[in-house]
């Protein structure tokens, strides 16, 4: 293992001034790496081990063997939930992936106007908690829904669908997973190689044959990725089944009932392990896919050229409008409901639902708690994820440890929020744990947020670091600038766009999440997303709607701020970025 080449400048005698900086650098880098590993251990490894252990322990602490696994397999109710969950996930995947593919294809391969708007609307559900989709559905298709009642009686007929149960959950999950699949497929469709289409054309292939032999093979890994993401997200989601599930139990609600309702920790742990299965599979698929996708385009590839086609454009436009309308209507219903006195009887506008005065939640405090928690998660998470990527990509100390850190950094991709929340209970609530004091505080909420959402920003940072030339840092070091100064003056500014993106991701995710934190919040520390769940539970659906709107509004505002900032940043740095 060699130290970075701070002493390797020919102008600088290694013995005289070279030695001390090297030792200082090694010390700083080594201690940073150890700090990172400590964070990953405390926030990830130990809680998971405790949860795993819990599955084999009876309430009195004695070893129970596989007793709880057997109990799980012998419980018809729990097996029923598993069957429900698989059914929901399969249906969601089968519906969401083709819909997302069609929109991604329509936007990537047609010449319609307003693509940016369509894309923005398609991504809107990412900024809302999943409960919001369920609430929107109840306002549209519930017993007193806008559509159910034939547009409040404007139509001569009623349109009733059995919303509460699998139908409602599936629609919510489709809305929830649609943007994720859309993002993956858009990225894949935007990098295909136009030369292949021309080659196919000169050999007499028609449009349909080109789609089958060129387009689909070029996005097959992305399709696999979209399928696994949709499946595992809908498999583990808690928010939507909670709101529109009715008596239709799924795994995520089971865990909640076992742990919070019946205090059956061991069975909760067992269910958590089951919950991890598709996410772990998705994780493996994702690793394989991201490695293979890159090989498809080369530096010689040419960008796709959209040929004129009026019929195709018309079809694409109609579909994009329908998709955008469906999503917008769902969210608009919630916004409207939050502003209407009594849906559907008294349609006068009011802001009273935003008071939250008589709500079980207790005023605006949960909202500001959420903002505070999200800000802290964004700042600490971004710093930790960037540091992790830097230490793994750029330094040459302790190869084995860096590989372990890499694995732990991408591992959260395979962990549902409920599992993290439960693991944290078992670990931090353990009386013998010196970190026990964290339990119920803001610190544990932030830690769970940082760990839960760690992987995507970590990979963003890694990609950004891979793209910037390592030589800049070598040059800075050779000019005798210290490691820390090089990091702050060279590495961070070069990756600033990525850093902003990471922070926004952390913030938005922390605002909408409910799965991990529902086990962890303290009595004085309710979060906005949890308030949505409890207000909806208490029947204050209009207030739950209002709180959802606040979350969505905050996220959209942050995102718009980010867009404005990164636009200014691009303009300011265009001179040296060169494009």
Partner 1 sequence: MAREGLTARGVGKSFGAFEALGGVDVHAPEGKLTCLLGPSGCGKTTLLRILAGLEQPDRGEVALGGRSLTGVPASKRRFGFVFQSYALFPHMTAAGNIAYGLKGNMPRREIGARVDELLKLVRLEGVRDRYPAQLSGGQQQRVALARALALQPEVLLLDEPLSALDAKVRVMLREELCQLQEKLGITTVMVTHDQEEALTMADEIVVMNGGKVMQAGTPTDIYDRPADPFVAAFIGAVNFLPEWVGSASPDSRLAIRPEHVRIARADDIFDAARRELAAGAAERQPGGRRTAGCLLLAGRVEQAQFRGSSWRISVLLPHPSGGAEPALIHADLPAHEAAGLRLERGALLDLALPENRLLSYPSEACR
Q: Which residues bind partner 1 (CB under 8 A)?
A: 193, 195-196, 198-206, 209, 213-214, 217-218, 295-296, 300
The distance of closest approach from Cβ of residue 26 to partner 1 in the complex, given in angstroms and rounded to an integer, is 41
Q: Is the peptide bond before 227 cis (omega within 30 degrees of 0)?
A: no
d(CA 246, CA 572): 53
Nearer to partner 1, 199 or 492 (CB): 199
- 490: CB partners within 8 A, 6+ apart: 472, 473, 476
The distance of closest approach from Cβ of residue 114 to partner 1 in the complex, given in angstroms and rounded to an integer, is 23
The distance of closest approach from Cβ of residue 364 to partner 1 in the complex, given in angstroms and rounded to an integer, is 54
d(CA 472, CA 489): 11
The distance of closest approach from Cβ of residue 205 to partner 1 in the complex, given in angstroms and rounded to an integer, is 6
What backbone torsions phi and psi does residue 65 show, to the nearest 5 degrees? 60, -140
- 499: CB partners within 8 A, 6+ apart: 382, 386, 461, 492
Nearer to partner 1, 201 or 313 (CB): 201
Nearer to partner 1, 214 or 276 (CB): 214
Burial of residue 446, with CB atoms counted within 10 A of its CB: 0-12 exposed, 13-18 middle, 19 or more buried: buried
The distance of closest approach from Cβ of residue 249 to partner 1 in the complex, given in angstroms and rounded to an integer, is 43
The distance of closest approach from Cβ of residue 298 to partner 1 in the complex, given in angstroms and rounded to an integer, is 8
Q: Are the C-beta atoms of residues 435 and 443 closer than 8 Å to each other?
A: no
d(CA 163, CA 171): 9
The DSSP-derived string for 538-573 is TT-HHHHHHHHHHHHHHHHHHHHHHHHHHHHHHHHH
Nearer to partner 1, 247 or 299 (CB): 299
d(CA 143, CA 131): 18
Helices within 109-165 (DSSP H only) = 115-123, 130-141, 150-153
The distance of closest approach from Cβ of residue 111 to partner 1 in the complex, given in angstroms and rounded to an integer, is 16
Nearer to partner 1, 83 or 291 (CB): 291
Nearer to partner 1, 189 or 266 (CB): 189
How many of the other CB atoms lie within 10 Å of CB of 66? Answer: 12
Residue 98 token pair: 């083709």
Nearer to partner 1, 196 or 339 (CB): 196
Q: Are the C-beta atoms of residues 139 and 333 closer than 8 Å to each other?
A: yes
Chain centroid offset of residue 572 CA: 30
Q: Are the C-beta atoms of residues 324 and 118 closer than 8 Å to each other?
A: yes
The distance of closest approach from Cβ of residue 204 to partner 1 in the complex, given in angstroms and rounded to an integer, is 5
347: helix, strand or coil:
strand
- Which residue, chain included where needed, has tokens 């600038």? 481
The distance of closest approach from Cβ of residue 292 to partner 1 in the complex, given in angstroms and rounded to an integer, is 11
The distance of closest approach from Cβ of residue 340 to partner 1 in the complex, given in angstroms and rounded to an integer, is 51
Nearer to partner 1, 200 or 410 (CB): 200
d(CA 251, CA 189): 34
Burial of residue 315, with CB atoms counted within 10 A of its CB: 0-12 exposed, 13-18 middle, 19 or more buried: middle
Nearer to partner 1, 296 or 453 (CB): 296
The distance of closest approach from Cβ of residue 195 to partner 1 in the complex, given in angstroms and rounded to an integer, is 4
Nearer to partner 1, 295 or 575 (CB): 295
Nearer to partner 1, 198 or 563 (CB): 198
d(CA 494, CA 255): 44
């Amino acid at each position: 293992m060699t130290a970075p080449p701070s002493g390797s400048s020919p102008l600088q005698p290694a013995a005289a001034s070279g030695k001390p900086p090297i030792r200082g650098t090694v010390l700083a880098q080594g201690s940073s790496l150890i700090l990172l590993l400590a964070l990953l251990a405390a926030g990830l490894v130990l809680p998971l081990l405790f949860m795993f252990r819990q599955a084999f322990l009876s309430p009195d602490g004695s070893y129970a063997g596989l007793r709880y696994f057997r109990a799980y397999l012998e419980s018809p109710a729990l097996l029923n939930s598993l069957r429900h969950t698989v059914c929901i996930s399969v249906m969601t995947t089968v519906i969401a992936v083709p819909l997302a593919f069609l929109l991604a294809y329509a936007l990537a391969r047609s010449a319609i106007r307003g693509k940016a708007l369509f894309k923005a609307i398609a991504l809107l559900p990412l900024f809302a908690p999943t409960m919001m989709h369920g609430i929107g559905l109840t306002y549209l298709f519930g017993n007193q829904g806008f559509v159910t009642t034939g547009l409040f009686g404007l139509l001569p007929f009623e349109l009733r669908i059995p919303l509460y149960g699998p139908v409602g959950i599936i629609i919510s999950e489709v809305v929830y997973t649609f943007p994720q699949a859309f993002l993956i497929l858009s990225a894949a469709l935007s990098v295909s190689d136009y030369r292949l289409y021309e080659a196919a054309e000169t050999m007499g292939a028609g449009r349909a044959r080109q789609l089958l032999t060129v387009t689909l093979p070029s996005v097959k890994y992305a399709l696999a990725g979209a399928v696994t993401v949709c499946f595992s997200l809908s498999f583990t989601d808690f928010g939507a089944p909670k709101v529109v599930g009715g008596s239709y139990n799924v795994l995520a609600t089971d865990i909640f009932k076992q742990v919070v309702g019946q205090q059956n920790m061991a069975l909760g742990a067992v269910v958590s392990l089951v919950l991890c299965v598709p996410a772990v599979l998705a994780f493996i698929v994702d690793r394989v896919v991201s490695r293979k996708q890159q090989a498809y385009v080369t530096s010689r590839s040419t960008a796709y050229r959209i040929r004129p086609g009026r019929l195709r454009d018309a079809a694409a436009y109609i579909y994009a409008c329908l998709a955008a309308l469906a999503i917008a209507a769902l969210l608009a219903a919630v916004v409207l409901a939050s502003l209407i006195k009594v849906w559907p009887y008294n349609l006068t506008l009011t802001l009273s639902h935003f008071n939250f005065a008589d709500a079980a939640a207790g005023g605006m405090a949960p909202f500001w708690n959420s903002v505070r928690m999200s800000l802290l998660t964004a700042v600490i998470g971004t710093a930790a994820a960037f540091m992790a990527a830097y230490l793994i990509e750029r330094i040459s100390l302790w190869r084995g440890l860096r590989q372990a850190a890499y694995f732990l950094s991408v591992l959260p991709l395979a962990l549902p929020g409920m599992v993290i929340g439960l693991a944290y209970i078992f670990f931090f609530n353990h009386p013998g744990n010196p970190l026990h004091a964290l339990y119920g505080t803001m610190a544990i909420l932030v830690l769970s947020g940082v760990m839960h959402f760690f992987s995507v920003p970590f990979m963003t940072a890694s990609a950004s670091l891979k793209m910037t030339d390592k030589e800049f840092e070598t040059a800075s070091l050779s000019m005798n600038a210290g490691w820390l100064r090089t990091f702050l003056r060279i590495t961070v500014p070069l990756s600033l766009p990525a850093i902003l993106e990471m922070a926004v991701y952390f913030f938005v995710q922390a605002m909408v999440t409910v799965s991990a934190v529902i086990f962890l919040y303290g009595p004085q520390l309710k979060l906005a997303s949890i308030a949505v769940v409890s207000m909806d539970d208490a029947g204050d659906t209009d207030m739950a709607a209002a709180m959802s709107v606040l979350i969505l509004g905050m996220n959209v505002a942050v995102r718009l701020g980010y867009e404005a900032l990164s636009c200014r940043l691009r303009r300011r740095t265009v001179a040296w970025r060169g494009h």
